[in-house]
Amino acid sequence: MDAQITPNNSPYAIDVQNLTVGYGSKVLMQNLNFTVNNGEIFVILGGSGCGKSSLLKNLFGLYQPLAGNVLIEGQNITTAIGAERQKIMTSFGVMYQQGALFGSMNLLDNVTLFMQEYTQLTQAQMDLLARCKLDLVGLLPYETYMPSEISGGMQKRAAIARAMALDPKILFLDEPSAGLDPITSADLDSTIQDLSKNLGITFVIVSHELASIYAIADKVIMLDKEAKGIIAEGDPKVLRDTSKDPRVHQFFNRIMSKDAA
Amino acid sequence: MSISDTISDVSEAPVAVWSQIDANSAKVSLSGIVNVYSLGGVWTQIRDAQDAWLKQGDIKAKTLTVDSATVGSLDGAGIAFLIAIEEAQINAGAKYELSGLDPRYQPLLKEFDPISNLFPVPAVKPKRSFVVSTGMAVQNLIDDTVGLITFTGHLFSDLVWSVRNPKQVRWGDFINAAVEAGIAALPIVGLVAFLIGVILSFQAAIGMQQFGAVSFVGPLAALGIVREMGPLITAILLAGRSSAAFAAEIGTMTVNSEVDALVSGGLSPIRFLVVPRVLAGILVAPILTLFADIVSIFSSMLTMLIYGIPFVNFYNGMLSAVDVEDILSGLLKATLFGVVVSAMGCLRGMQTGTGAAAVGISATRAVVSSIVMIVIVDGIFAFISYKTGF
């Protein structure tokens, strides 16, 4: 990793320390410890309902964890407040599972919204920037469309473009390729790899798509509902071929639950 | 760059500097961290200098070199900046050269090839003529009326069906809607009715006092309340509270394809969603009206005490002016208002478009249409009352 791109006082893009995730008295995961390196494509795996999306929302500070800390580029997002917190918030972009585009704005305005708040560029400059982002996700011809006028998969891609609006160092993507056709999904994978390799952007992705995971992930962690924690960590291909854990083996080799039992 | 410097970068040394070498060649030197924050202001300066330079002399002989050898890092905005400079050069017919760019940024620059796609010609929206606009407005009105008639037909047939198959009506939804529209509305209906009673009596008393006819205020106010004010206040409050709530609830269901799920499952959304709410409207509107009548008359009695009219006199005067028929007429009208208000709320909810804004529009339309329909029904009812004496 080129040190010039992200010199900061932490060797990690994200450092998770003793994190406990849950709602009220319901604990989904406890004592999680892991780190995400700068420029890495990091994928969070796990069965449905094990709390992947909740973990993601704890990582970028939308929800307050029950215990533990999350350090983003060395800054603790769990304890940061006010202007400090806002600065951390602008250092990453988030794509939500359903896209969460602003329904009253067209795609171009959705992408420029955050630029209008945080930068001193003119409207024409922001529009050009937004078009570049839309072009990266293949939506340039749809810039004037409203979110309700495009398909679900396109909404997701537009949401990725919006997440990239301020060229953040870290992008959190919640199931980016679910619901996309294989070609678009492969295009998206290649865009993610380009951005990671060339701009040094760190990706934290929640995903189920095995093909996409093998293609892009530098490192995965696998969560389990029963264990309430991480049951496997490392390169997905290595895990697939060498893991002795039946749960990991089953997941990576798509074995039905009754066959495994 | 650490997060704390991200935004403050703007105040540091400019990341791009313009220098004109001679009449036909100029240079833009990039240095440091070229990002979405540090480009603020600089971008405009460079482009302005470029445009001014391009305007002088022979364009075809001009060459602009962008020197990016000392760039620390470049983000997506930096790449867009390079594209903007290149486009301005190429578009003017001049030459453009990029030197010293770190090869890792090349794939990203290639992503945007050809860059002309990023600069679309703004589409001119065709202006609608007055005739077309009028025609479209009329068409909308016709569509809306057709929608209303169709909906009324469906609703009527499903209400008849419900009477014949009472066991299949969703009574749980009915009770929820009735509690929400009825019991929860008691405080606001009570408050408004009380104040209307006071205001009505005071206003009437001020006028009547000049003719020494203060004792007639009681019968007059009571008659006005049971025949007109009671049903009307209740209906308008129902329109504001429940009609909007029904529209928003059903509207959100429409946006989330829940209504589609009912249809594709072979269920009538009108029977499933509208009938319980309309039945709730039919039940609560007359009850709330009766409550409003009682509170209003009571507040009117209190007000008349100030003018020295005791309760007994007020009561006797009221009995001579108000018949059971007047009260029933008011309650019948209230029932019709209940149907209209709840049905309009549901109809607007079902007509919701897509997106969050559409739900807000539906709720607004529900309230407006409900109030318009209340006035229309009230007018028709007044005419029938005049003709029949009921």
A8 neighbourhood in chain B, CB within 8 Å: 1-3
Residues 52-91 of B with CB under 8 A from A: 72-77, 79-80, 83-84
CA distance readout (Å), A10 to A65, B26, B368? 21, 41, 58
Rounded CA-CA distance A130/A149 in Å is 19
Question: Do residues B12 and B40 touch, judged by C-beta distance below 8 A?
Answer: no
- H helical segments located in chain A: 52-59, 82-89, 107-118, 123-136, 152-163, 182-199, 210-216, 236-242, 246-252, 257-260
3-state secondary structure of A26: strand
Position A9 confidence tier, pLDDT thresholds 50, 70, 90: low
Exposed/middle/buried for residue B78 (C-beta within 10 Å: 0-12, 13-18, 19+): buried
Residue of B nearest to A126 (CA): B77
A135 touches chain B (CB under 8 A): yes
**pLDDT for B12:** 66
Instruction: For residue A145, give every residue at least 6 positions away whose Cβ sits within 8 Å of its Cβ, in sequence order, or none.
Output: A106, A107
Q: Is B362 exposed, middle or buried (0-12, 13-18, 19+ CB in 10 A)?
A: buried
Interface with chain B: mutation pick from A109, A126, A164, A166, highest number of B CBs within 10 Å: A166
CA distance B51 to B299: 77
Nearest CB among A90, A119, A140 relative to B40 is that of: A119
What are the tens digits of pLDDT across the range A141-155? 998 999 888 888 888
Locate the chain B residue with the closest alpha carbon to A195: B108
CATH class of A12-91+168-260: alpha beta
| ipTM of predicted complex | 0.79
Strand arrangement of the beta sheet that strand A229-234 belongs to: A92-95, A170-174, A202-206, A41-46, A219-224, A229-234
For residue A220, the tally of other CB atoms under 10 A from its CB is 26
**Residue contact B3–A87, C-beta within 8 A:** yes
Q: Hey, is the C-beta of A146 within 8 angstroms of any chain B C-beta?
A: yes
- Topology annotation, domain B7-118: Transcription Regulator spoIIAA (3.30.750)
CA distance A244 to A248: 8
> How many CB atoms are closer than 10 A to CB A53?
15
Q: Which residue of B has its CA nearest to A197?
A: B104
**How many whole angstroms separate alpha carbon A14 and alpha carbon A10?**
9
3-class SS at A61? coil
Q: For residue A131, name the pLDDT band (cuts at 50, 70, 90).
A: very high
pLDDT of residue A1: 35
Does the distance separating the beta carbons of B112 and A133 come in below 8 Å? no
| Residue B61 identity | A
Size of interface A-B (CB pairs under 8 A): 114
Q: Are B64 and B24 in contact (CB under 8 A)?
A: no
Surface of A (176-195) touching B: CB under 8 A: 191, 194-195
Residue pointed to by tokens 């010609």: B121
Q: Where are the domains of chain B?
A: 7-118, 137-388
CB atoms A198 and B108 under 8 Å:
yes
Helix H or strand E segment including A122: none
Q: By the 8 A CB rule, do A177 and A209 touch?
A: yes
8 Å CB contact of A119 and B43: no
Every domain range in chain A assigned CATH 3.40.50.300? 12-91+168-260
Instruction: Closest CB to B118: pick one of A73, A88, A132.
Output: A132
Q: CB within 8 A of A109, min separation 6: which ones? A: A102
**Per-residue confidence in pLDDT tens, chain B, 390 aa:** 444 444 444 456 788 888 888 888 888 898 888 888 888 889 999 999 888 888 887 888 888 888 988 888 888 888 899 999 998 888 888 888 888 888 888 888 888 888 888 888 877 888 889 999 999 999 999 999 999 999 999 999 999 999 999 998 899 999 999 999 999 999 999 999 999 999 999 999 998 889 988 888 889 899 999 999 999 999 999 999 999 999 999 999 998 889 999 988 888 899 999 999 999 999 999 999 999 999 999 999 999 999 988 999 999 999 999 999 999 999 999 999 999 999 999 999 999 988 778 899 999 999 999 999 999 999 999 999 889 877
